[in-house]
Amino acid sequence: MASARPSVTDVAAIGVFEGLGPEALYDCANIAVRRELPRGLVVFRQGEPCVRFQALLSGRVRISQAGQEGELALMRFVGKGEPFGSFGMFVDGNYPAEATTVEASVELSWTKPDFLELTNRHPTIIRNLVTVAARRLATLQERLREITTLTAKQRVASALLRLAQENSGGPALEPLAIPWPLTRNDVASISGTAVYTASRIMAAWERGGIIATVGKRISIRSAADLVNAGDTADVKADRRATQRP
């Protein structure tokens, strides 16, 4: 894993440093470390001490959390410009989850004392961190709403669309691609369904030409068809059930 000092341009690409002037960016870059991470690397494990503030310059990192039986559940994927795992330094000092690269990535990081000193010198960083935390909380609330109000098909459709749009940075030409490996267990975890249920739903959509899977990489051929597929038999059955005397 090669490491070096990042440039000011590197630091400016990280969201938590948005709004900083050239001198402040140079201050941040001067004490940072730029590290290349190979695919499949466990960057940190759940419960380990959080000793650095880390952010992704490029690539993709999978964030998973262990349950009581030790199984890992997918929580989210981190993309370029995002911090990951580092909020633990502001809570109990430990990483709240495990982080693994799903493709070759580049990380910028600062030691905990250095980063905390940067937040004192440049309060804009704290405001940006609050924004990041608020957005993640909103995403978690939306996922909770989906689990409590949507059918399994709707949740799987929503999860796939969200991941594809995160990769494209917003609306894009179809097909929408999720270019990193995604297992059926991943889809089940992030949509709040059983693995068997997610597999059955996605197999039907593949047969219908709505999605395509090459290896473990999924593409959505038609976002409109995927949304419509989520609002079919399950929803009609739910409606019939509520109309029974």
pLDDT tens digits, one per residue of 17-67? 999 999 999 999 999 999 999 999 999 999 999 999 999 999 999 999 987
Give the CATH number of domain 150-243.
1.10.10.10
Cis amide bond preceding 175, omega within 30: yes
CA distance 187 to 3: 33
The CA–CA distances, whole Å, from 57 to 88, 95, 109 equal: 20, 20, 10
Give the CATH number of domain 3-143.
2.60.120.10
Size of the chain, expressed as the number of residues it contains: 245
Model pTM score: 0.81
Tokens of 152: 């399994």
C-alpha 201: how far from chain center: 22
pLDDT of 168 strictly over 50 = yes
Q: Which amino acid is at 197?
A: T
List where CATH 2.60.120.10 sits in the chain: 3-143
Q: Is 16 helix (H, G, I), strand (E, B) or coil?
A: helix
pLDDT tens digits, one per residue of 108-127? 999 999 999 999 999 999 99
pLDDT tens digits, one per residue of 173-230? 567 888 888 888 899 999 999 999 999 999 999 999 999 988 888 989 888 888 888 7
Average of per-residue pLDDT across 81-101 = 91
List where CATH 1.10.10.10 sits in the chain: 150-243
Q: Is 58 helix (H, G, I), strand (E, B) or coil?
A: strand
